[in-house]
Structure 1
Amino acid sequence: MQQQAPNASRSIAIIGFGEVGPILAQALVEQGCAVSTYDTKLDQAATRPQILARAQRSGARVADTLAAALEGAQWVLSAVTASQAEAVASAAAPLMKPGQTFIDLNSVSPKVKQTNCERIQQVGADYVESAVMAPVPPQGIRVPMLLGGHTAGAISEGLNALGFNTKPVADDIGLASAIKLCRSIMIKGTEALCVQSMLAARHFGVDERVLTSLHATFPGVGWDQGYEAYLIGRVAEHGQRRSEEMREASAMLSEIGMNGDLASAIADVQEKLARRGQSLHEDLDEKGRLPAWRTLLKNSDIG
């Protein structure tokens, strides 16, 4: 990995080093940024080696405490799971100082983003919300992001200069996340519908006929070219994270007086198939792929 000399004006901390953190870290290091990272899994003997290995590959400096990771960072990127987003902002707030900006990448409800913003701004630091509008792999740092907050314009310019693909959409916190979650209801809902449709179709042995009918009704979508396999595979591989996002969508709907039961049901389907996919990781093929979707759906308790 070719690196430029670290630039002190581009000191960035990344909180959370699962799937997204290392991708962003490597791209930023290649742009000459000094990147530090902290993940709570560093505190666990079983998962610490994995985080250390990811950091070494990406060029990020590992900090053993959140405070050490944030020290001197110009920007703090929070890239944890939705369930941990509020806790991380709460823990980071008293450690941050004026001049630092907390960039919240997590898929949570507008209300959670607003709460996180209040906590960060109470100490004089800046807060910008980011809504990541597509899977980070394979686009990496170029994945589209919508930014919100009174400094979103300036932060967008700075991030884009480093190779990001961001767009400021609002001065108010919450609107970028609302765009993301409203879209996610459609995307994750389509995936959940496909899982249940194909599960029932397999039960009756009519899956090929259903797919043929879907192709006839929606030509060009790809129902004749394995589109169902793509949708089901996304759930099996990323359903846990997607289910957390849909629970945030449900919370968003409840916050505005709507019924969030549909979003919760989508989350349940995503989570159950994700567990099924995890149980089959020992059956990955030579290219590291999960079994075909018909194998993934062979247990009727998924629906």
Structure 2
Amino acid sequence: MEVAVLGLGEAGGRLAEDLAAAGCTVRGWDPAGTREGIVSASSAPSAVRGADVVLSVNAAAVALDAAQSVAASLAVDAVFADLNTSSPALKRELATAVPGLFADVALMGPVPVSGLGTPALASGTGGERFAELFRPLGMPVEVVGAFPGDAAGFKLLRSVFLKGIAAAAIESLEAARAAGAEERVRADLASVIGEPLLERLLSGSRAHAARRVDEMWAAAAYLEELGVDPRIASAAAEWLEQLREEG
């Protein structure tokens, strides 16, 4: 299988490496530079020519530009899979920007840690085909709908809960620190959700604040689209913005 990977950051780079190790022919393209061990194309269009699958793994802010830049170079039967965390509305727009099969893919775990073993949800006209191609390579893919945006929506709804818990934990411990009771409160929180999850929520929020801000504002926008007041999603986004500014 020939795979083009647009975006060779933490997630895209790890997926490209795993795909190459699995025997796929991988061509990568990233405006920021090359990735050691991955064949680098001279441009995004040259990366996707002849590819069976194109993985767009960059950022929601540039996802549409990335799709439009390669649309004319895609093979007729190629699957264009957008793996960026974004709103269902953007996924629907992306689906109209490319010819042929489009897969809305939501990655449900930390890709730099799990690589091709990261669980994923897929939807859209290319969702089933994406699952057929990637399950044998070790990716647990669940097809959750026929429409682009279905997978993205499920991930964002989950994120409201998980990032909401993270924001609550951060606020609780900040207040506990000011009250001189941080150790006691942290132990209480850990007794409820477990120390490993608590630490992952706290450290992950700080380490990935820049990326998660966009995710939570997308979640807030989706909730508003559904007619739900995004109190928790907005609060979590504001906390993440503060963490991003703190560095």
TM-score by length of 1: 0.76
User: Structure 1 264/91 Cα, relative in aligned 2: closer, same or farther at 3 Å?
Assistant: farther
Question: Is residue 262 from structure 1 mapped to residue 240 from structure 2 by the alignment?
Answer: no
| Paired residue secondary structure (1:12) | strand
User: Structure 1 265/95 Cα, relative in aligned 2: closer, same or farther at 3 Å?
Assistant: farther
User: Structure 1 117/227 Cα, relative in aligned 2: closer, same or farther at 3 Å?
Assistant: closer
The corresponding residue for 1:99 is 77
Matched to 1:37, the amino acid is G
Residue 118 of structure 1: how far off its partner (Å): 1.1
Residue 192 of structure 1: how far off its partner (Å): 1.1
Give the alignment's Cα RMSD to 1 decimal: 1.9
Q: What is the alpha-carbon distance in structure 2 between the residues aligned to residue 156 and residue 229 of structure 1? A: 32
The corresponding residue for 1:7 is none
Q: What is the alpha-carbon distance in structure 1 between the residues aligned to residue 8 and residue 55 of structure 2? A: 11
Contact 1:126 1:151 in 2 (8 A): yes
User: Structure 1 213/272 Cα, relative in aligned 2: closer, same or farther at 3 Å?
Assistant: same
The corresponding residue for 1:284 is none
Q: Summarize deviations over 1:156-198 as a string: whole Å, max 9, x none.
A: 1111122222121211221111111100111111111111111
Alignment match of 1:139 (pick from 103, 109, 114): 114
Largest Rg, 1 or 2 = 1
Q: Summarize deviations over 1:277-297 as a string: whole Å, max 9, x none.
A: x4xxxxxxxxxxxxxxxxxxx
TM-score by length of 2: 0.92
Matched to 1:92, the amino acid is V
Aligned counterparts, 1:1-303, within 5 A: 10-42=1-33, 52=34, 55-56=35-36, 59-121=37-99, 125-214=100-189, 218=192, 221-222=193-194, 225=195, 227-276=197-246, 278=247
| Paired residue secondary structure (2:9) | coil
Size of the aligned set, in residue pairs, is 247
Q: What is the alpha-carbon distance in structure 1 between the residues aligned to residue 49 and residue 233 of structure 2? A: 39
Q: What is the alpha-carbon distance in structure 2 between the residues aligned to residue 24 and residue 160 of structure 1? A: 14
User: Structure 1 268/159 Cα, relative in aligned 2: closer, same or farther at 3 Å?
Assistant: same
Q: What is the alpha-carbon distance in structure 1 between the residues aligned to residue 186 and residue 94 of structure 2? A: 44
Residue 261 of structure 1: how far off its partner (Å): 4.8
Residue 151 of structure 1: how far off its partner (Å): 3.3
Q: Summarize deviations over 1:214-250 as a string: whole Å, max 9, x none.
A: 456x3xx22xx46543321111111111111111111
% identity of equivalent residues: 32
Contact 2:116 2:137 in 1 (8 A): no
| Paired residue secondary structure (1:41) | coil
Q: What is the alpha-carbon distance in structure 2 between the residues aligned to residue 132 and residue 226 of structure 1? A: 21
| Paired residue secondary structure (1:274) | helix
Unaligned ranges ≥5, structure 1: 1-9, 43-51, 279-303
Matched to 1:103, the amino acid is A
Contact 1:149 1:172 in 2 (8 A): yes
Contact 2:6 2:56 in 1 (8 A): yes
Matched to 1:11, the amino acid is E
Q: What is the alpha-carbon distance in structure 1 between the residues aligned to residue 120 and residue 50 of structure 2? A: 25
Residue 97 of structure 1: how far off its partner (Å): 3.6
User: Structure 1 153/228 Cα, relative in aligned 2: closer, same or farther at 3 Å?
Assistant: closer
Matched to 2:137, the amino acid is L
Q: What is the alpha-carbon distance in structure 2 between the residues aligned to residue 193 and residue 207 of structure 1? A: 14
| Paired residue secondary structure (1:167) | strand
Q: What is the alpha-carbon distance in structure 2 between the residues aligned to residue 77 and residue 174 of structure 1? A: 16
